[in-house]
């Protein structure tokens, strides 16, 4: 039996615990999730370097999962475009049971041995793509079959699991094992296992974007300022990066169409928009190189 499905003697009487004890126990259990991710740091770093080397200008990040694991993958992918201006078409989630399963459970969908391969074939995978399969049990048929198929197509395959010795890890080129053990509620992998998966994906996607040059001086310089809060954040970034005053930063951003990197190059290199666009293009879009 997978450890995530087993019952812990420590939690056998939780239905008799006080509310304060319940909250303490649930919160305490989450520390195990962080410890499990910490123990997997080396595998996570290997995945980051492999992805950064593959993705280039056209590679896609494909998340593959069922149930809680699939939803956690979808959340990570959904954050990449607004945070890093990563193209929506390059952050894809394949969910067992289809998009509707993100909100409503689809029974038996995770047991399909063919659905993932069909979805991946529709994407026309290439060796530039990276497929991340998530499965707390480590044996979800949908994820196992999808990773095996993606690997045959030459894509990079990464398996994130919470139990050792599963077929997901065997199917993937890189296995990231997050041993979270028994859940506070036996089998409820939305808890510790889900937390560990979320933290691991945060580490992977953020580190990959940094390796690819989407971050400069710790700032999200590729961010899309799509609302009032983000527009003010963009102004603060330009002020911080250039030393310009608030009015100059706003004027540069307006002239740059809201593009933080463009406004920064315009101010620091005293260029008009066309000149700054040329400088960034020559630098492959990398702000650090454009300013060097």
Is the pLDDT at 274 greater than 70? The verdict is: yes
Task: Look at residue 252 in the predicted model and tell me its pLDDT.
Answer: 96
Task: Look at residue 30 in the predicted model and tell me its pLDDT.
Answer: 92
Q: How buried is residue 27: exposed, middle or buried, by Cβ count under 10 Å (0-12/13-18/19+)?
A: exposed
Mean pLDDT of all residues in 74-79: 96
* Relative orientation angle of helices 260-268 and 273-282, to the nearest 10 degrees: 110
Task: Look at residue 108 in the predicted model and tell me its pLDDT.
Answer: 65
Evaluated on CA atoms 70, 72, 76, 82, the torsion sign reads: positive
Q: How buried is residue 215: exposed, middle or buried, by Cβ count under 10 Å (0-12/13-18/19+)?
A: buried
Q: If you compute the radius of gyration of the chain from its CA atoms, what whole number of angstroms results?
A: 22
Mean pLDDT of all residues in 2-23: 86
Q: Catalogue the long-range contacts made by 223-231 (C-beta closer than 8 Å, 24 or more residues apart).
A: 223/82, 223/83, 223/84, 223/85, 223/260, 224/81, 224/82, 224/85, 224/258, 225/253, 225/258, 225/260, 226/82, 231/258
Query: What is the per-residue pLDDT across 246-273, written as a single tens digit (0 to 9) for each?
Result: 999 999 999 999 999 999 999 999 999 9
Mean pLDDT of all residues in 282-289: 91
Please name the fold of domain 228-291.
Helicase, Ruva Protein; domain 3 (1.10.8)
Task: Look at residue 231 in the predicted model and tell me its pLDDT.
Answer: 94
Task: Look at residue 260 in the predicted model and tell me its pLDDT.
Answer: 96
**Average pLDDT along the chain:** 93
> Which active-site residues does the annotation give?
79, 110
Q: How buried is residue 226: exposed, middle or buried, by Cβ count under 10 Å (0-12/13-18/19+)?
A: exposed
The number of beta carbons lying within 10 Å of the beta carbon of residue 112 is 17
- Residue pair 73/93 in contact (Cβ under 8 Å)? The answer is yes
Query: What is the per-residue pLDDT across 100-133, written as a single tens digit (0 to 9) for each?
Result: 877 877 776 777 888 999 999 999 999 999 999 9
Alpha helix positions (H), the chain: 19-39, 41-55, 67-84, 115-123, 141-152, 167-171, 192-211, 228-242, 246-255, 260-268, 273-282, 287-291
In the chain, where the domains are located: 3-211, 228-291
pTM of structure: 0.90
Task: Look at residue 110 in the predicted model and tell me its pLDDT.
Answer: 79
Task: Look at residue 66 in the predicted model and tell me its pLDDT.
Answer: 92
More confident residue, 110 or 30: 30
Determine whether domain 3-211 maps to CATH 3.40.50.1820.
no
Query: What is the per-residue pLDDT across 191-207, written as a single tens digit (0 to 9) for each?
Result: 899 999 999 999 999 99
Query: What is the per-residue pLDDT across 203-218, written as a single tens digit (0 to 9) for each?
Result: 999 999 999 989 999 9
Mean pLDDT of all residues in 44-50: 98
Is the pLDDT at 152 greater than 90? The verdict is: yes
């Amino acid at each position: 039996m997978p450890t995530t499905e087993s019952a812990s003697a420590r939690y056998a009487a939780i239905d008799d615990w006080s509310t304060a004890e319940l909250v303490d126990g649930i919160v305490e259990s989450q520390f195990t999730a962080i410890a499990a991710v910490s123990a997997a740091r080396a595998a996570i770093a290997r995945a980051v370097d492999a992805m950064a080397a593959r993705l280039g200008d056209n590679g896609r990040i494909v998340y593959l999962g069922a149930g809680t694991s699939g939803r956690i993958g979808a959340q990570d992918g959904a954050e990449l475009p607004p945070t890093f201006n990563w193209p929506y078409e390059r952050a894809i989630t394949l969910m067992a049971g289809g998009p509707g399963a993100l909100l409503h459970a689809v029974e038996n969908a995770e047991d399909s041995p063919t659905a993932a391969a069909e979805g991946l074939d529709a994407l026309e995978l290439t060796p530039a793509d990276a497929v991340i399969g998530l499965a707390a049990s480590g044996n979800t048929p949908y994820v196992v079959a999808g990773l095996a198929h993606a690997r045959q197509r030459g894509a990079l395959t990464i398996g994130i699991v919470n139990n050792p010795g599963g077929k997901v890890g065997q199917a993937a080129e890189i296995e990231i094992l997050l041993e979270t053990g028994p859940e506070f509620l036996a089998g409820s992998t939305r808890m510790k296992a889900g937390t560990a998966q979320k933290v691991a994906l945060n580490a992977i996607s953020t580190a990959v974007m940094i390796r690819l040059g989407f971050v400069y001086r710790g700032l999200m310089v590729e961010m899309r300022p799509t609302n009032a809060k983000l527009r003010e954040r963009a102004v603060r970034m330009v002020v911080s990066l250039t030393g310009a005053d608030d009015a100059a930063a706003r004027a540069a951003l307006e002239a740059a169409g809201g593009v933080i990197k463009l406004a920064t190059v315009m101010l620091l290199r005293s260029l008009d928009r066309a000149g700054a666009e040329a400088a960034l293009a020559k630098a492959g879009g990398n702000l650090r190189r454009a300013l060097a």
